[in-house]
Each structure stands twice: as C-alpha cells, then as structure tokens.
A and B are shown apart, each in its own frame.
Chain A
Amino acid sequence: MNFNTISPLTITELLEAIKLNQNNHFRFGAGYTDLILELQHQDENDLTIINLAKLNDNSLKNTSKTNLGIRIGALSTMANILDNNDLHVFPVLIEAVPCLNRSGKKPCFTTNKGDGYYWR
C-alpha cells in the first residue's frame, strides 16, 4: 500500500490540505485505531492521510465559554471535558464520558451476570 501523510499544525494549514486534496483520495487520521483496522481489510491505493494528531490549534483542542453557550473543540479529550467545571452543569455529558473510557467515577450499567439490576 502506498500513501502520503500530511501533518498540518494549524487550522489554516488543515483547510489548505483539504482544499489541495479535493480531487484526491484522502482520509483523516487522529488516533488511527479505526483506520488501521479498515486498511487491513481493504487496499486503498494512492491514499493521502491528513494527520490531525499534530494540530495545535486552540479552537480545536479547547473548551470555551461564549455568549451562545459552551463550545467544545473537536479535538478536545475526554479528560478536558471531565476537568472543565463549566461542563459540570450538564451531568448527562459528564456521565457519558466515563462510559467511554472509565476515567470517571460513576460506573456504567452492565449486563454482567450477578449484577442484579431489576430491568435486566
């Protein structure tokens, strides 16, 4: 398999990379778990990967309070969300995070034998 990698550092460079590759076969990469698994099963020739892992743009990585609400950047981590006190006014969001990565305190309900929640 033959592929190129572009690693933009800013959102401007990212937009430029997307524009330049509009007529090419490109994919985004960040954590790569999904991409690696997919590439194992299908051969993608002339693939360009736009690597998001090195982006260092605060508007993508941070959470900020605005007059419209709370803005969560697309590259914010689960830890960022859990650590942000402004987001704790939304318990639904905070409870959903541990269900993804187990870094929080509240356990998710499971259907393991012996747990005994009445609805199972």
Chain B
Amino acid sequence: MSCALVSLNALCEIINSDGNIRTVPIVDFFTGVKTTVLQKDEFLRSVLIPTNSNGIEPVSGFIKIGNRNSMEIALVSLAFHITHDDKGVINNAGISIGSVAKTIMLAESASAFLKGKNINQLSVDDTNQFANLILNYANPISDIRASAWYRKQVLWNISKSIF
C-alpha cells in the first residue's frame, strides 16, 4: 500500500514525544530495507493525501505481481495515478514501483514524460519510452522468489499495460 501512497505524493505526518509535528513526503520516508526517517522519539501519526481532483476520473490503479494472492510480498508492483483534463491532456502523473529496488521508487522522469501528452493518443513508441523510463529506476535483486531479469521484464510489460 505504501507504493500506492507514493504514487499519490502523500505526506507523512510525524509527531515526536514533545508533540511537535513534522511533515515528510512519503517517498522520502523510507530510507531502505526496514528503515525509515523516524527518530527514536517519533512515530507516524497519519498520512495525508493531497486532493486536487478536477472531477474527471483519473487513470489510476495498482498492479501487484506475486507468487500468491494474499499475505505475500510482491515480486514487482506498480502504482499509477494519472490525472487529465476533459480533452485527455495529462496534467499530473504519479508513478511508483515496488520490490525492484531497495525501497519504493517514484519514477519522476516517467511522470514528467507523460505531462502534456494526450492519454488517448499515446503511440507505441511513447509507451515503450515510458516503460523504459520506469525501468531506469529498477535495480532489483535475484532471490528465491524471482530473478532480477524476470522482475525487470515483468515491470516493463506491466508499465506498458497501463495504457
């Protein structure tokens, strides 16, 4: 679910033992495997999802590839939340990937690539380029669950399947 929150550019509201609150973008909250920016006297109080809906249904979804459906960490996951105007011109895109790097990655260049393009008129070259940009953020490991090669191949394919 953190991957989905990263694609939404959510903010973490962190409170310390003195009651002081600081806000950290969720993409910066996770610093590595099982590590976060939390200090010993802090805990995560809430997550804030900014809302700026224009009333048009976004292209938004979450794809998890895993060995089984539930209670299992993903081999690869991809979250996307793309908003556009009534003509289909993309005005904002949040793309994040999980299980393919040491922590969740926000694919900012892929998001930037989409901005200004018409979501209904993306060519095959566009979707290939988009998938390649996402792949730049992937640095997966090979482990008992899947090889790095497999994770990258799957990520490329599911990235293209968004459109």
Q: Do A and B bind each other?
A: yes
Q: How far is the CB of A100 from chain B (nearest CB, A)?
A: 6
In the bound complex, residues from chain A placing their C-beta under 8 Å from that of B77 are 99
Q: Assess the B154–A96 pair: CB atoms within 8 A.
A: no
Q: Assess the B158–A69 pair: CB atoms within 8 A.
A: no
Q: A92-B60, A92-B81, A96-B1 are in contact. Are A108 and B66 (CB under 8 A)?
A: yes
A80-120 interface (Cβ within 8 A of B): 87, 89-93, 95-97, 99-102, 107-112, 118-120
Q: What are 30 A-B contacts defined by CB distance under 8 Å? A: A14-B43, A15-B18, A18-B17, A18-B43, A22-B17, A22-B40, A28-B43, A60-B45, A71-B46, A71-B47, A72-B46, A72-B48, A74-B43, A90-B4, A90-B60, A90-B81, A92-B80, A93-B1, A93-B4, A99-B66, A99-B70, A101-B70, A102-B70, A109-B65, A109-B66, A110-B66, A112-B67, A119-B153, A119-B157, A120-B154
Q: Which residues does B use to contact A, with CB under 8 Å?
A: 1, 3-5, 7-8, 13, 15-19, 40-41, 43-51, 53, 58, 60-71, 74-75, 77, 79-81, 153-154, 157-158, 161
